[in-house]
Chain A
Amino acid sequence: MKRDAFSQYHPAVNFVFFVGAIGFGVVIQHPAYAAAGCVSAALYYLLLRGRSAWKLILSMLPLAALLTLINPLFNTSGEHILFRVFGRPYTLEALYYGMAIAAIFVVMMLWFGCYNAVLTSDKFTGLFGNLIPALSLLLVMVLRMIPNFFRKMKQIIGARRSIGKGAEKSGSTKEKIGQGMTVLSALTDWALEGSVVTADSMRARGYGTARRTSFQIYRMTLRDWVLLALMVFLAAGVIVAGGVRAEFTPILSIAPLTWGFAAYCVFLSIPTALHIKEALQWRISISKI
């Protein structure tokens, strides 16, 4: 991932943004809103991933087209009948509706792509560690256990191969299953043995003696609060202004745009704007040197 200004903010700020962007994106079917979502999500995803972003974005196009074209096959209500398929009407309104659904789908996929790049697993656990300390510790321990498990499995299989006890390619399925079970049971023994030590190590460091606190590696600073406030303000604006109603079938009826749309556009372009602002600042400061 490329260096990104928005990712440097507190995970809570990142999280609130994605909740807003994905939430609005899914709920609001208004075509203008959906278009704004598509453009800003694609733009931000491009900034995050660089050239490799095109792969996801381009693969979205046929999918979106498919979703659009399929919808009228199932949804037959609407005034303007384009043609009939097996006697069922294929209407213009349903086609528009399909477009809206496709747009929602694309917006969601792209925002989740951005989400994965910005909110890494350690940010997520760091964010929710304070709310549910026991659960987050469990999560952290599981995250550590899984790769350990695979590493040990490889080790056992290697060790068994070097004494001629590996699963032969020519062996029967039954033999292979038998070998697999042996490795699995050995692995379980090993893991249990290790977990005794881990438990000792936890108790030796006072686990369970007091109410656990959680070390926060991320801190809310002033700029985090400012950005958070701005986001909440804009989101509230979108909700209060209204004008997001859009009905496609049986009669096309789309609400006129209000200033809520402007608020929505500003909201969605926050990460992109921050990214570009930082890139420009960096250019300028270098050119001054």
Chain B
Amino acid sequence: MAHFHIQNLSFSYPNAKKESLSGVTLSVEKGEYVVLCGKSGSGKTTLLRHLKSVLTPHGKRSGQILFCGVPIDEVSKQDQASKIGFVMQNPDDQIVTDKVWHELAFGLESLGCDQKTMRLRVAEMASYFGIQGWFHRNVAELSGGQKQLLNLASIMAMQPEVLILDEPTSQLDPIAASDFLNTVRKINLELGTTILITEHRLEDIYHAADRVVVMDGGKIIANDTPRRVGEQLYAQNNEMFAALPTPVRVFYGAKAEGDCPLTVREGRNWLSKTFENRTLAAVEPDSEPAMEEVRNPALKVKEAWFRYEKDSPDVLRGVSFEVPAGSLFAVVGGNGAGKSTALKAVCGICKIYRGRVEIFGKDLKKYRSGELFQNCLAMLPQDPKSLFVKKTVREELAEMCREEDKIAQAAALCEIESLMDAHPYDLSGGEQQRAALAKVLLTQPRLLLLDEPTKGLDSFFKQKFAQILRKLRQQGMTIVMVSHDVEFCAEHADLVSMFFDGQILTTDTPHRFFGQNSFYTTAANRMSRCVFRNAVTAGDVVALYQKNREGST
């Protein structure tokens, strides 16, 4: 008997013109690891929320959902609470209590467990998830990754049979995200818990899935093993193909034959085998011009030092870099290295105590207040929500600027014309990002700072965001972005810098920068470095592949 059986489920929100789910039929077997993917707004979250009665949205519904053969509405609330675990997106808001140990026990307390059982279960969970070290801590002191792990552990304490995860890693940095996903995988392998997960970052989980389900416009358009789904999406020329892991995209992009590689390892083997004993016509993408001496930089930071408190350690320890006018300058580096602080120092929110910052050739300190943020500099913060203060997007934009035509222009550029009357909080992550960007652009900056702009965006919105950035640069804007997203930087940046230990270590063009690294680099580079040199995007690898194949035949 299937664990979950969804039969012909259709659903529409009240007052919605379109159905959010239409005729979804899906069954999930016990112990299966199912990855659900699709663009934002394709109905993934709506579908997942139907699998637990207390979270099910209100609206018009038809069809049936069976949990272990019983209609879900007839399963008691207590059974649902303990047997169906649900991890949500936001690590912070899911936490209820103020202490780690209390959070672990929260579900058990709600179910009315006795002390002895609770004590044992909490101890088990703390040990299994490696929480002993921070068991007595305040929740507020934890990192994002630790918080999400705590959410997972506190649900696992109730010993669920199914674990449903709705984009659990979208707010985490790549290292914390892959740790988290490995833990989920471990739960599936060691405990046999059924897993149903949605994710943007398919790179880490695609190969491990037993089955991949792809949704589009409220319908299931593919439902098969990872390898076959890749094939189907490519054949349909579907937009979701762009979200698949690099090896899959390279394989189909190069129109190769045979078994499709899913992981970097498989991709590497496939490339090595293809080009075994062959002389290669080209091993490197067309070389870029070497970095020139920067003349008239838009932004120049020289030996900047900063710390938050008098006795705390320095966060910026002599940061120096120059950003050429009109370029997209990306800063990559680990968590807590001080990247965001560097951006804050540039716009004067953090006041450096040594060194200097020059914006368009003028010292930051010489800008009068107000002058700096008018037609000069603006920053898009990491969380776009922190910019929203009004009831509609239109009012948000009107707060910045009175002229209707300028507002219309910015809205058109960011493609949010259709969302103008919506409440900013009702938008999806990608839409919020663009609305916030439109608001920032109304200050008409010549230098735009972006803090983790691709966090939580799916591949489709990322492409759209990249297009907008390209348009802005054509208008002559200089953009500095700080990011964990190595793939995005490799594809779209002009220059990439490595930030480590409060300093900028190296700056180079993406090909040279990522070509030299062997760990901190893109999947395409890791996969192709055995054959090609400095190929950092899927596009590079495909181009080289085809060039060499043509040469040999």
A residues within 8 Å of B by Cβ? 122, 133, 137, 140-141, 143-144, 147-148, 152, 155-156, 158-165, 168-170, 182-183, 185-186, 189-190, 193-195, 197-198, 200-217
Contact = CB atoms under 8 A, between A and B. Distances in A.
A144 B96 CA distance: 8
B96 A202 contact: yes
B439 A163 contact: yes
A197 B167 CA distance: 14
Nearest to B104: A215
B110 A168 contact: no
Interface string B354-386: 000000000000000110111000110101011
A159 B381 contact: yes
Given A168-B370, A194-B92, A202-B106, 10 more contacts: A158-B344, A158-B381, A163-B400, A201-B94, A206-B78, A207-B110, A209-B77, A209-B110, A211-B112, A213-B108
Given A141-B97, A164-B372, A213-B113, A205 B155 contact: yes
A204 B48 CA distance: 13
Contacts of B52: 204
B106 A205 contact: yes
Nearest to B445: A163
A155 B388 CA distance: 12
Nearest to B99: A122
5 contacts: A158-B344, A186-B388, A198-B95, A205-B154, A205-B155
A163 B443 contact: yes
Given A162-B379, A163-B378, A198-B96, A206 B111 contact: yes
B389 A183 contact: yes
B299 interface: no
5 cross-chain pairs, A with B, having the tightest CB-CB distances, nearest first = A164-B373, A206-B81, A215-B105, A197-B93, A162-B379
Interface stretch (B114-122, B256-264, B488-496, B503-511): B114-122
B281 interface: no
B121 to A, nearest CB: 10
A206 B101 contact: no
Contact of B101 (A190, A195, A211, A217): A217
A168 to B, nearest CB: 6
Contacts of A200: 54-55, 88
Contact of A206 (B93, B107, B369): B107
Contacts of A186: 386, 388-389
A205 B110 contact: yes
Given A162-B379, A209-B110, A213-B118, A144 B95 contact: yes
A147 B140 CA distance: 8
A156 B382 CA distance: 11
Contacts of A133: 109
Interface in B383-431: 383, 385-389, 399-400, 425
Contacts of B389: 156, 160, 182-183, 185-186
B291 interface: no
A208 B96 CA distance: 14
Contacts of A122: 98-99
Contact of B440 (A163, A185, A203, A206): A163
Interface in B327-371: 344, 347, 349, 369-370
B471 to A, nearest CB: 20
Contacts of A210: 78, 110-112
Contacts of A206: 77-78, 81-82, 107, 110-111, 158
A283 B154 CA distance: 41
Contacts of A148: 92, 140
Contact of A213 (B90, B112, B383, B400): B112
A155 B140 contact: no
A229 to B, nearest CB: 22
Contacts of A160: 387, 389
A203 B374 CA distance: 47
Contacts of A158: 344, 349, 381, 386
A208 B76 CA distance: 13
A3 to B, nearest CB: 15
A53 to B, nearest CB: 23
A152 to B, nearest CB: 8
Contacts of B139: 144
Give the residue among A155, A160, A162, A213 with the most B Cβ atoms within 10 A. A162
B453 to A, nearest CB: 14
Given A210-B110, A210-B111, A162 B54 contact: no
B349 A204 contact: no
Pick the most buried of A147, A169, A207: most chain B CB atoms within 10 A of its CB. A207
Contact of A215 (B122, B347, B381): B122
B350 to A, nearest CB: 9
Contacts of A161: 347, 349
Contacts of A204: 52, 54-55, 81, 86
Contacts of B110: 202, 205-210, 212
